[in-house]
Amino acid sequence: MVGTVLKHYRIETQLGKGGMGVVYRARDTRLDRPVALKMIPPGLIENPERRSRLLLEARSAAAVSHPAIAQVYDIDEADGNLFIAMEYVDGRTVTRLIADGELDLMGAIEIALQVAEGLAKAHDAGILHRDIKSDNIMVTRDGHAKLLDFGLAKLVEPEPDEPVSPAELSRTLTRGRVQTIPGAVMGTLSYMSPEQARGKELDRRSDIFSLGIVLYEMVTSELPFKGETPLDTMHAIAYEEARPLTLLRRNLTPEIHRIVFRCLRKNPEDRYPDAHALAADLRRLKHDLETGTAARLPVGDRLRVWAGRFKGSFPGGTRGMVILLAAIALGAVLVAVRFDWGGLIGPAFIALFVYRFVRNRKKRLIAAFTRKVSRFPEVRLVAARDDRVTVVMDKAPAKVYIRITALVDELNRSLFIGKDVRAEIRTDITEAEASSMLTRVGVLYAREEGGAGSGSKPAKGKTRGGPTSSAPPSAS
């Protein structure tokens, strides 16, 4: 539709596409200003009642005015196309900022605070968002957060008596984390609240849970709930606890942990009662960080953080802890029956050797992976942090990417215990960024000057630390 005119809107370029339709940047020729036009697919408004409800809710959303909410200007129809005209926000999404590594703790708190204040204004007007996610939060060039698509998830939600076929639900679930599920479970998979995942009725505390997920993601660069399949992710949201923030990023203030995990309580009654309370806590935390004051977690929360950290760092995780406790119990029994311990010296040495072999296997496998990858002349640098390996390379034929991916799969198949290694191939690194990466702990290989481009042989890199470095992972 680029180049066409709908009413007084001239469509200039396509901005994106999602479950609610296609979004274009257009020019309002009457007021001479840029707008975002969201085209509503005809299939979402075939039902007359749903269509009338869409008009009503769009008008309600347009009535909410707040600096942190992208304004809805108009809803209209032309040439059989129903569209919503909204404020055009020139900036980058939070997803993009996380991927670029441009969010520090203060930036994350400031964005969450602005969004919470916008949520409070909309909730007071009786409007829920239902699809808060990092892709729906834009940050303008001057640092102002804007929450997009406010109230639009409700626009296509069916009435309770509208059936949804199992085939449609299954088909939508398999699309992954970025899809909204119309007519069944509203929201985006990785950002749903437990009540959304179960298809229950929602209130303002559901939006608070989703904002807690975004804040967790901004602080750690990881999502708190994720599984191998969409259904696994929904199960994790509904029943599993997120990993403590301090396991993923050291030296965080305890107060940010308390705020995030209060947002992420499974029971809505245990969360913040409204966005006003959340914004108040974020405002206090921002003030404390700016003034240099510090707070301590309550004893119960500190114990939970300690237990999570111990569990995450123990070899084999929960299984390893069970084996250790079983060994301690067996030792107690042997002491009680006055067992002759001299006969255990030999098996103990063998057990120690096997333990050290298994414990260091991932490090050896990553080192072997690095040696194989470094043979490609396009590879500039290999770094490892925790379970993440980053391969920096020049542009290369597709077969090189396929070969590196195969080497990662081979590495993970060879692991006995522990989490799989996740690999990231980057070709967008500048010389300055590459030089900065060389100063960090975890570099396993670095090509000599003039490696791939000038045809010289790649040099053997030196290890700076190891794959078990405690440095925080970079955003991917």
* pLDDT over 90 (residue 279): yes
Query: Per residue in 58-101, pLDDT tens?
Result: 777 777 888 898 888 888 888 777 888 888 888 899 999 999 88
In a domain, 468, yes or no: no
287 and 423: one domain? Answer: no
Please confirm, yes or no, whether 32 is among the known catalytic residues. no
Do residue 79 and residue 110 come from a single domain? no
- Asked if 29 and 10 touch (Cβ cutoff 8 Å), the reply is yes
Indicate if 83 and 111 belong to the same structural domain. Answer: no
Catalytic residue among 131, 207, 274, 386: 131
476 located within any domain: no
71 with 26, same domain? yes
Q: Considering the chain, what percentage of its residues have pLDDT values greater than 90?
A: 18
Q: What percent of the chain has pLDDT over 70?
A: 73
Would the pTM count as exceeding 0.85?
A: no
> 263 and 305 in contact (C-beta within 8 Å)?
no
Length, in residues, of the chain: 476
What does the pLDDT average to over 20-46?
A: 83
Distance between CA atoms of residues 86 and 9, nearest Å:
12
The rounded radius of gyration (Å) of the Cα atoms in the chain is 26
pLDDT band of 341, cuts 50, 70, 90? low
**Same domain? 95 vs 193:** yes
Average pLDDT over residues 365-385: 88
Residue 59 CA: distances (Å) to CA of 64, 87, 189, 214: 9, 14, 27, 27
Cβ(188)–Cβ(178) under 8 Å? yes
Q: Name the residue with higher pLDDT: 372 or 322.
A: 372
80 and 153 inside one domain: no
Residues 181, 297: one domain?
yes
Is residue 172 scored above 60 in pLDDT? no
The continuous run of DSSP H or E covering 413 comes out as helix 398-413
**Contact status, residue 215 vs residue 112, Cβ threshold 8 Å:** yes
User: Would you state the pLDDT for residue 292?
Assistant: 73
Q: Tell me, yes or no, whether 21 and 57 share the same domain.
A: yes
In DSSP terms, 37 is beta-bridged to: 24, 85
CB 216 within 8 A of CB 210: no
| DSSP letter, residue 37 | E
Does residue 305 share a domain with residue 323?
A: no
Are 14 and 149 contained in the same domain? no
Residues 302 and 255: beta-carbon distance below 8 Å: no
Please name the residue ranges forming H helices in 152-268: 152-155, 166-173, 194-197, 204-220, 230-239, 245-248, 254-263
What value does the mean pLDDT of the chain take?
Answer: 76
Kindly state whether residue 461 falls inside one of the protein's structural domains.
Answer: no
Q: 199-215: per-residue pLDDT in tens? A: 788 889 999 999 999 99
Instruction: Give the domain extent around 203.
Output: 91-310
Query: For the chain, how many structural domains are there in total?
Result: 4
Residue 153 has pLDDT above 60, yes or no: no
pLDDT at 471: 35
CATH number at residue 195: 1.10.510.10
Nearest to 467 by CA among 363, 391, 369, 370: 363
The distance of Cα 8 from the centroid of its chain, to the nearest Å, equals 39
Write out the E strands in 132-194. Answer: 137-140, 145-147
Q: Is residue 473 situated within a structural domain?
A: no
The verdict on 210 and 267 lying in the same domain is yes
